[in-house]
Every structure is written in C-alpha cells, then in structure tokens.
Amino acid sequence: MRRALWLLMLVSLAKAETGREAWLRYRAIPTPLPSVVVRFGDEPEVIAAAKEVSRALEGFSGKAPLSRQSLVDNSVVLATARSLTNHLPGVSSLTDLEAGGYWLGTSTVKGKRVSFISGSDSAGVLHGAFAWIRHVAAGENVARLNEKSDPAAPIRWVNEWDNLDGTIERGYGGRSIFFENNNVVADLTRGGEYARLLSSVGINGCTVNNVNANPRALTSEFLPQIARIAEVFRPWGVKLSLSVDFASPKTIGGLDTFDPEDGRVVEWWKAKADEIYRLIPDFAGFVLKADSEGRAGPATYGRTHAQAANLLARALKPHGGVLVYRGFVYDHHADWRDLKKDRARAAYDNFQPLNGQFDDNVLVQVKYGPIDFQAREPVSPLIGALSKTNQTLELQITQEYTGQQRHLCYLAPMWKQVLDFDLRVGNERTPVNEIVAGKTFRRPLGGFVGVANVGRDENWLGHDLAMANLYAFGRLAWQPSLSAEEIAQEWTRQSFGNDKRVVSAITGLELDSWRVYEGYTGPLGLGTLTDILRGHYGPGIESAERNGWGQWIRADHEGIGMDRTVATGTGFIGQYPREVAHMYESLRECPDELVLFMHHLPYTYVLHSGKTIVQDVYDSHYQAAEAAQQFAIRWKALEGLIDEATFARVMNRLDYQAGHAIVWRDAICSWLLKESGIPDSKGRAGHFPGRTEAESMTLSGYTVKDVTPWEDASGGKAVTCEAPNQKCTASFTFAGTPGLYDIVVQYFDVNDGEARFQLNVGDRVLRAWIANDHFPTKALNGDSSTRVTLRKVRLKTNEIIKVESSPDGNDPGALDYVEVMPSR
Ligand code: GCW
C-alpha cells in the first residue's frame, strides 16, 4: 500500500505540466481547510461554483470534501445573498452589492464554524468562489476573511479574433478553440475550460469571432452551432456575443441594401436578433467594426456611425443586449505628403461630433491609444470627449506589436499607466478607468475589453508567462486600482506556488519586461517600429513611412518624429483637455517617453534625461538588449524550483528573446547611425566585436544576398544556399587567443521549408540543427533572423570555424554572421 502511494506520488510529480490549467492549479497547501462544501441554490453558476470549490479543496488538501445542502461544522457555504438570508436569516445583509459582486466571510453559526461565499447574484457566487480559492492558493488564512468586492464596471469582456476557418487574426497560441472549416468544432471542451479561466478573473463576456466578421456567423444555418458555444460558457457566467458584418442584410439577407435608414434593413436586424435570442436567451450583443480597414459601414449610404450603431442596438434592446461599436475608424489611404494629415486624430474626429447621439445600449469601444496597440502611446483623447456616450476601453492581451508571445512582455504596467492617466476633463480629476467604467459621466454602461486570441496550444497563448496578461486584464477590469505588481504576485503564486524565490523571480521578470521590450524596440513614443505592412513582428522601421497607413515617423537626415502640436503641427494635441494639451504641446513639459509622438525634433535635441535623442536611443537599446540577456539567466536560476516541462518551454522562449533583442537593437541603432550620421559616443553602434559577417567568410556554394530592409541583417546582407541537394560552407579562421568562448550563429529560419545547419570547429562537429521554427515570414528579414548559441567552447588560435547549411523547399539555409566572444 505504502509502495503504491509512493509510486502514485512519483507519477504525479513526474507529470509534465502543459500549462493548460493556467493559474488554476490547486497544488497541495499546508493549511487546515474546510472539509465540507455546502450549497444553497440550484442555479447553474452556483452549482459550478460549488464544484469548483470542491475541486480546489481536493487539490489543496489531497482529500475530496463532502458535499451537503444543509449547514454542518467546518464547512464552506455557497449561496446568493438572497438564498443565504432565506436559509440563515441574520447571517449577513448584502443588499448593497452590485451585479456580479461578492462577499467572503467567516462566522460561527449555531456552534458550527462556517466560511461564506456569497454573491449579489449567481454570477457573484462564482466570482466569490474564485476569489476565495485565490486567497487559499496564496497561502492566506481564510478563517479570518471578510471581503466584499464589486466589479468596477458592468462590461468586462474579451474579444477573440477567430475566423470561422479556424485561423486567428493576430493569434499566437495556435488555431481556434471554437472554429474549424467554417463550422464550430465538435468538441468544445477547450471552450468550456476557457470560460472557466475567464470566470475565475471576473470576465463576464466573450465575443467569439473576428471583428473582421464573416457574414456566415449570422446565418440561420450557423447560429445553432454558435448556441453550442453559449452552452459551454453559461455555467461560468460568461455571456457570448458576436461580431457582425454591417452588410449582412444584403450579403446573407437577400436584400438589395444595408442602408440603416431603410425599413427593410431595420426589420431584418430585428428578426435576426429575435432569432438569436430564441437560440441563446442570454446572448450579450453584437460587436461592429464598420467603415474601417475596408469593412462595410454606414458611409456607403452617407449615414453616420450613430445611425449604424442605433440600428443594431434597437434590434437588441428588447432582449437586453448591447451593441459595441468600434471606434477604430481611420483612413488607410491617407496622403503621406500632407503634413497636416494625422491618423492619430481619426478616432476623435470621427466620434466626438456624434457624442450624445448613441442609444443607451450602445458602447463605443476605444483603443487605449490613438494609433494601434503600440508598445507605447499616449491615451486616446476620444476617451475624454465622450461625455454623453457609453464606452469600453480596448486593450490587447494578444501581443500583436509587443513580441507576439515570443517575447516576454507583461502589459499590466502599461495598462496601469493608461487606466490611471488623468485626462483632466473640465480641469478635474478624471482618470481613464473611471471614465470608461461610466462613473465620471454617470453613464448607464461602460467597461473594459481585452483582445485575447487564445488558441489551441496547450498553454493557450504560446508563452506560459504571457498568461499573466490574460489574468491581469481580468483583474484590472474588475478592480483597476490593483497594482501591476500585486497582480503579478497573485498570478505567480497561483501558477507556480508560494516559494519566495520563485515568486520574487517571476514577478520581477514580468514587471521588468514591458520596459525592456520597449527599450530595444521603438523609442521615445515613435511606436514599435516593427514592419507594419506585414507581420507586425520584427524591425521594419521605414515600413511606417511613405504609405497610406498613417503610422508615419517623419524621419530624415536632420530629425525625427511627428509634429502633432497645435502651433505648427497636425493639431492632434488640441484634442486633449486643456491641461493635458498644454503638457504635450510644451517641450519643457512633454515627457521624454512620448516626445517623438508629439514633436518633430533634430537628432541632437537634448531630452530631459540630459542626453541627445540619438544617444538616448543608442543607450536605451544597448541597455534593454542586455536586460533581455539577463532574463534568460534569471530564469535559469529557477531550474529545479518549478516543474521541468514549464521551465524548459519558458527557457526556450527567453533564449530566443535574448537573441532577437539583439536583432532589434542592431537594426534600430544601425538605421539611426546611417540616417543621422551621428556616431554613438560609447562606440557601440555599427561596431560588433567578435562578429564575422557571412558575406566576408570563405564561401563555397553560397550566394551573397541583400536583405530588405537592410537594417534587419548585419551588414545589410546574408548568404543563401540555393542549389537543391547541395551543402554550402562558410568558414573563417579564429584569430583570438586560446580560451573558452561563446559562439553565436545568426541565421534565418523562413516559414517555408526546413533547412539544415551545422557548426564545426576544426574537425569537431559542435552542433547540427534544423531550421524548423514557425516565424511569421517566408522572407529573410528581422522576423526570420534567429540564432543558435554555443557556450563555453574551447578554441585555439587559428582554428577554422565553419558553418554548413543545406536548403529545403524554399528555405535557403541563409546565414547572417558568426560571433565569437569570450564566455561570461
Ligand atoms: O491592429 C489592427 C490589426 C488588425 C485588426 C485591427 C482592428 C482585426 O493589425 O489585424 O483587425 O487592428 O483592431 O480592427
């Protein structure tokens, strides 16, 4: 028996963690806990909550608790406020809780020790259950709990940009958990598990399909399939909503128009809403992206966004649904020659004049910044201007412009800056989080939406540490006053346990990561400086310029930055309330971190930091790339303290990030050096100690190729091995002194074939590998540039270092450089 137990324990210890449990891991906790779960009430959410508490207690204590429907000693009781008062009059009066709110408490009732999890409604009981579990998991003493908590706002949703064919727009965690082949997947287990995760952080709505909506989503054939998703969401208190195509009355409805003022169109939307509510009685509503990036919209008929929004809102209204109208509307064919044109102005210019014209069940969903989810942007001025309109703030959990879950980038510190930013509307304290929640302007509705894009990867987002972003979004939507650090700690404790070393190391990494990412990508408010025309991933600085997309940085040999001042620029700054506008307009007050978003300045301009722009960029990029090297080292120190499989997955990503941070650093610094002609006072930019360019090695079989953009390859060039069934070699003689060295092979891994590589020193084969990662490109550029690092290699003077590669498919086994540096 003993033996069997031991074996069982060993097996469970050895079980590789996949990340699928996310932060709901329920590992053993050395605390006395209730042994009975008592449930009053039969609502699906209360049943789910009681089951969850049982599941958690079993994990924490190693023993399944008993379930009861009457009061017993040492129990935890779950009930809505109303049924609690019915069953145990006098225990508590929770009349002042808001929808979804909860109360956690303890007391002795008729000699029985009881913990209470109660909610204003059944969803509140669920939220309370997960909050209670969170406290236990963090090792707190729940016997002393007395906590009352209300959500900050009624709308706390995620949007998924899932396409019906199973792909996900800007998704980096695998294919859709909802769709495949233009149908809803047969097995919705992951959909249910996802709703549970969302519920655990208080998220109460999920829009399951891409805002670039396929009209099929609304067809009578498809809707019953959508209803199946709503069913797996329901016990978790997560309501389903759909993105819709504004032209639907025409594309799928058989009408010859989709004019919002046409009576037939009005009727069509009404009938469609009725049909949906017959199938999904708790349907949350529609999300609409109209007249944006090629989507159909009211402009076709000369109608306004308000007319379009109200049309759909009125169809939903009798059923209690809401219409979320995306504020992300701008002209993507803007004339870049026109110095007064400015995409940043678009949201405000389009929606501010309509303030007050939207129905009460419409929310305008505003992206946090005026451009598009960049690593840093000022807060959108539209937020302060919608005083008579409900809003939701749109944040992005999926890291489209922030490293696509290959880079660690914990976004809560950035979101906090947005949420806490005081727009000074009417010269008064008006922080963004209070405005969007509906508090400042006393709106009936408001809230927070996170674009999540989880996928079928076992760990949901592709990077185990990126789950902190999903967690943080939910926590902040519930309680914006939480700090990024508190949230990181909570998440780490639940995900990785309470070992102090683990908590402090992982929290530290998370907290440092956004500034580090920003530090080696786009500086001083310029935007991420990624390739905006393609993958939005690696460096692609000038892709922002000279096209209609309007992400211009206006760089030339003299200076850089968009002049958005009222005095001489586009006037964007004038969209802010007076005090904020004054701060941005004045160079004396404008913070360095946004100065090139607001102003066009010479490279030699001296910042508040005391450095010139050019030197600041060199310094920040070298510092941040070094910090990214340290991430991998900091993580390495956790080996043995967390489970092996998770350790290895994250190690892999952080090693890659360390290399890619150098690709970014070199691209930005080389480009700036060339553009400005001003050298780095510390002599780093353009000088690469220990580096030998592939194009200057002794080559056999390789062809020298220009890389576009040039700054994405060291020296602007790579060598490719194009002849099929051939092996190419590039070699050079190591001229340093004998000793231990780290060798980096920087090569390109395109998403179109799997070339083979090998590194030799003398007659030793040091490493052979296959370029089989899946970067978002088929081209040689900063998306595909990656590396292999060999540490502590003993080298002798005059040894020959040789890289070999053989192409596969369209992957030409391209090599950028080899770097040999003394081991650190
Ligand atoms: O950031 C851009 C993305 C598009 C996206 C669009 C939007 C869904 O690159 O992929 O489309 O924003 O938010 O509508």
Q: Does 211 sit in the ligand 1 pocket, CB within 6 Å?
A: yes
3-state secondary structure of 326: strand
| 374, 344 Cβ separation under 8 angstroms | no
Q: How far is the CA of 211 from the centre of ligand 1 (A)?
A: 8
Query: From atom 12 of ligand 1, which residue's Cα is the shortest distance away?
Result: 372
Query: From atom 2 of ligand 1, which residue's Cα is the shortest distance away?
Result: 372
Nearest to 548 by CA among 364, 336, 816: 336
3-state secondary structure of 601: strand
| 258, 288 Cβ separation under 8 angstroms | no
What is the atom index within ligand 1 of the atom nearest the CA of 212? 8
Q: Does 282 sit in the ligand 1 pocket, CB within 6 Å?
A: no
What residues contact 92, with CB distance under 8 A and at least 6 apart? 81, 84, 85, 103, 105, 116, 118
Q: Which of 58, 96, 231, 293 is catalytic?
A: 293
Best mutation site among 243, 324, 366, 372 for ligand 1, i.e. most ligand atoms within 8 A of its Cβ?
372
Which value, in Å, is the radius of gyration of the alpha carbons in the chain? Answer: 28
Q: Does 537 sit in the ligand 1 pocket, CB within 6 Å?
A: no
Q: Which residues of 170-183 are buried (b: 16+ CB within 10 A; e: fewer)?
A: bbbbbbbbbbbeee
Position 802 confidence tier, pLDDT thresholds 50, 70, 90? very high
Q: Which of 150, 160, 400, 712 is catalytic?
A: 400
The model's pLDDT over 371-395, given as tens digits with 9 standing for 90+, comes to: 999 999 999 999 999 999 999 999 9
What pLDDT shows up at residue 131?
Answer: 98
Q: Which of 372, 377, 783, 804 is catalytic?
A: 372
**pLDDT > 70? residue 1:** no
The model's pLDDT over 49-102, given as tens digits with 9 standing for 90+, comes to: 999 999 999 999 999 999 999 899 999 999 999 999 999 887 765 668 899 999
Q: State how far the Cα of 711 lies from the Cα of 663, in Å rounded to an integer.
A: 9
Q: Does 416 sit in the ligand 1 pocket, CB within 6 Å?
A: no
| 91, 116 Cβ separation under 8 angstroms | yes
| 37, 76 Cβ separation under 8 angstroms | yes
Q: How far is the CA of 255 from the centre of ligand 1 (A)?
A: 29
The model's pLDDT over 12-30, given as tens digits with 9 standing for 90+, comes to: 444 689 999 999 999 999 8
3-state secondary structure of 704: strand
**How many helices (H) and strands (E) would you count in the chain?**
20, 29
| 616, 681 Cβ separation under 8 angstroms | no
Residue type, 641: L
| Separation in Å, CA 673 to CA 605, 666, 683, 715, 804 | 15, 10, 11, 13, 32
Q: State how far the Cα of 581 lies from the Cα of 575, in Å rounded to an integer.
A: 7
| Phi/psi of residue 487, nearest 5 degrees | -65, -45
Q: State how far the Cα of 189 lies from the Cα of 316, in Å rounded to an integer.
A: 29
What's the whole-number mean pLDDT along residues 33-48? 96
Query: From atom 7 of ligand 1, which residue's Cα is the shortest distance away?
Result: 328
Place of tokens 């409604």: 121
**pLDDT > 90? residue 2:** no
| Phi/psi of residue 278, nearest 5 degrees | -65, -35
What's the whole-number mean pLDDT along residues 121-140? 96
Q: Does 471 sit in the ligand 1 pocket, CB within 6 Å?
A: no
The model's pLDDT over 507-564, given as tens digits with 9 standing for 90+, comes to: 999 999 999 999 999 999 999 999 999 999 999 999 999 999 999 999 999 999 999 9
Query: What percentage of the chain reaches a pLDDT higher than 70?
Result: 98
Up-side HSE of residue 339: CA atoms within 13 Å toward CB?
11
Q: State how far the Cα of 146 lies from the Cα of 639, in Å rounded to an integer.
A: 38
What pLDDT shows up at residue 94?
Answer: 67
| Both tokens assigned to 698 | 């002794």
| 232, 195 Cβ separation under 8 angstroms | yes
Nearest to 20 by CA among 729, 683, 645: 645
What pLDDT shows up at residue 144?
Answer: 86
| 389, 438 Cβ separation under 8 angstroms | no
Nearest to 450 by CA among 463, 465, 466: 466
Question: Is 372 in the active site?
Answer: yes
**pLDDT > 60? residue 716:** yes
Q: How far is the CA of 326 from the centre of ligand 1 (A)?
A: 11
What is the atom index within ligand 1 of the atom nearest the CA of 161? 8
Question: Is 259 in the active site?
Answer: no
Residue type, 707: V
Q: How far is the CA of 276 from the centre of ligand 1 (A)?
A: 26
Q: State how far the Cα of 415 lies from the Cα of 469, in Å rounded to an integer.
A: 10
**pLDDT > 70? residue 3:** no
| Phi/psi of residue 236, nearest 5 degrees | -95, 5
- Length of the chain (residues): 824
Q: Does 719 sit in the ligand 1 pocket, CB within 6 Å?
A: no
Q: Does 295 sit in the ligand 1 pocket, CB within 6 Å?
A: no
Give just the sign of the alpha carbon dihedral 583, 585, 590, 595.
Answer: positive
The model's pLDDT over 403-450, given as tens digits with 9 standing for 90+, comes to: 999 999 999 999 999 999 999 999 999 999 999 999 999 999 999 999
What burial class does residue 33 get, using C-beta atoms within 10 Å of its C-beta: 0-12 exposed, 13-18 middle, 19+ buried? middle
The model's pLDDT over 653-708, given as tens digits with 9 standing for 90+, comes to: 999 999 999 999 999 999 999 999 999 999 999 999 999 999 999 999 999 999 99
Q: State how far the Cα of 668 lies from the Cα of 676, in Å rounded to an integer.
A: 12
Write the DSSP string, 90-108.
TS---TTPPTT-EEEEEEE
What pLDDT shows up at residue 88?
Answer: 87
Place of tokens 């809003």: 391
Q: Does 394 sit in the ligand 1 pocket, CB within 6 Å?
A: no
Q: State how far the Cα of 762 lies from the Cα of 708, in Å rounded to an integer.
A: 33
What's the whole-number mean pLDDT along residues 239-248? 98
| Separation in Å, CA 639 to CA 7, 510, 620 | 24, 17, 30
Nearest to 597 by CA among 572, 576, 622: 572
| Both tokens assigned to 526 | 């310029």
Q: State how far the Cα of 423 lies from the Cα of 420, in Å rounded to an integer.
A: 9
What's the predicted TM-score (pTM) here? 0.97
Q: In sequence order, what are the beta bridge partners of 759?
A: 767, 803
What pLDDT shows up at residue 24?
Answer: 98
721-724's contacts with Cβ under 8 Å and 24+ in sequence apart are 721/755, 721/805, 721/806, 721/807, 721/812, 721/813, 721/814, 722/807, 722/812, 723/807, 724/807
Q: Does 373 sit in the ligand 1 pocket, CB within 6 Å?
A: yes
**pLDDT > 70? residue 401:** yes
What pLDDT shows up at residue 93?
Answer: 59
Q: Does 169 sit in the ligand 1 pocket, CB within 6 Å?
A: yes
Best mutation site among 212, 324, 531 for ligand 1, i.e. most ligand atoms within 8 A of its Cβ?
212
Q: State how far the Cα of 512 lies from the Cα of 504, in Å rounded to an integer.
A: 12
What pLDDT shows up at residue 90?
Answer: 77
| Both tokens assigned to 737 | 């002194």
What is the atom index within ligand 1 of the atom nearest the CA of 292? 14
Residue type, 346: A
What burial class does residue 487 get, using C-beta atoms within 10 Å of its C-beta: 0-12 exposed, 13-18 middle, 19+ buried? buried
**pLDDT > 50? residue 7:** no
What's the whole-number mean pLDDT along residues 799-807? 97
What pLDDT shows up at residue 726?
Answer: 87
Question: Is 169 in the active site?
Answer: no
Q: State how far the Cα of 38 lies from the Cα of 51, in Å rounded to an integer.
A: 10
What pLDDT shows up at residue 106?
Answer: 92
Residue type, 189: T
